[in-house]
Amino acid sequence: MKLHTHQTLKTESPQPGVLVVTLNRPAVRNAINTPMAAELLDIWTQLIADPQDARCVVLTGAGDNAFCSGADLKERRDMTVEAWRVQHELFERSFWSMVDVPLPVIAAVNGHAYAGGLELSLMCDFIYAVRTARFALTEVSIGIMPGAGGTQNLPRAIGERRAREIILTGTPFSAEQAYAWGLVNRICEPGQLMSAALDTAQTIARNAPLSVRQAKKSINLGMQMDLKTGLRFEVEAYNQLVGTEDRVEGVRAFNEKRRPIFRGR
């Protein structure tokens, strides 16, 4: 898909239907500054409005050391209280808009993910990480607290009690621990991370795009409902697919023993 030009992000489409978004400030461990937050918001807003030919997104960081170290504290060093709040409102919109992205977003965590970096990865649908990656929500150690979803997404991912310990101590944990706790879906060797993430993204991109989007929506919204309401919502989402051309193509291809060609219609 055609995206706006960005200074702190790199975008590419290495495979049909797959969009790779790279946090591109490696000199500062891909810390999120005001321009990066604005550019992330721009990308998510574009994908919400019109994904075009994109069917899956991989979010990663530039370099070998860090996925994202969180907010750029050098930029924040001399901020007034009002300027800090204004900036954080931008951060909030940037992070929260990810919830509404209709496409699956895979975090390919290529290095440490601290503070807002971990929160950013938690906003993704699932996470692949290199074995050397470490994770932490360190905000309480500098006089603030997680403010980009950490206190909400981490307990949902690994359970309330373990999340309490991580958030209240600010102690880092390893990729192996993250995998054992269900935070990370797959651990990869450093040279294999992107190939693994892209293989999964390509698998998703080959599936019926309307089906993938409806399934993601059903999971996201259904998890906020009681079971009976969630089951009813799932059926409503399912029924939206019955009349699509892709459903007809999928069944026809199965019976003809060939790979279906889905067009998102």
160 burial level (CB within 10 Å; 0-12, 13-18, 19+):
exposed
Token representation of residue 15: 């495979």
Spot the catalytic one: 89, 119, 189, 245: 119
Domains, the chain, ordered by start? 9-205 (3.90.226.10), 207-255 (1.10.12.10)
236 burial level (CB within 10 Å; 0-12, 13-18, 19+):
exposed
φ/ψ of 57, rounded to 5, equals: -120, 140
Spot the catalytic one: 139, 245, 249, 256: 139
Active-site annotation holds for 119: yes
Token representation of residue 250: 């999928």
Type of residue numbered 61? G
3-state secondary structure of 32: strand
Sequential pLDDT tens for the chain (265 residues) = 667 778 999 999 999 999 999 999 999 999 999 999 999 999 999 999 999 999 999 999 999 899 999 999 888 898 899 998 999 999 999 999 999 999 999 999 999 999 999 999 999 999 999 999 999 999 999 999 999 999 999 999 999 999 999 999 999 999 999 999 999 999 999 899 999 999 999 999 999 999 999 999 999 999 999 999 999 999 999 999 999 999 998 989 999 998 999 998 8
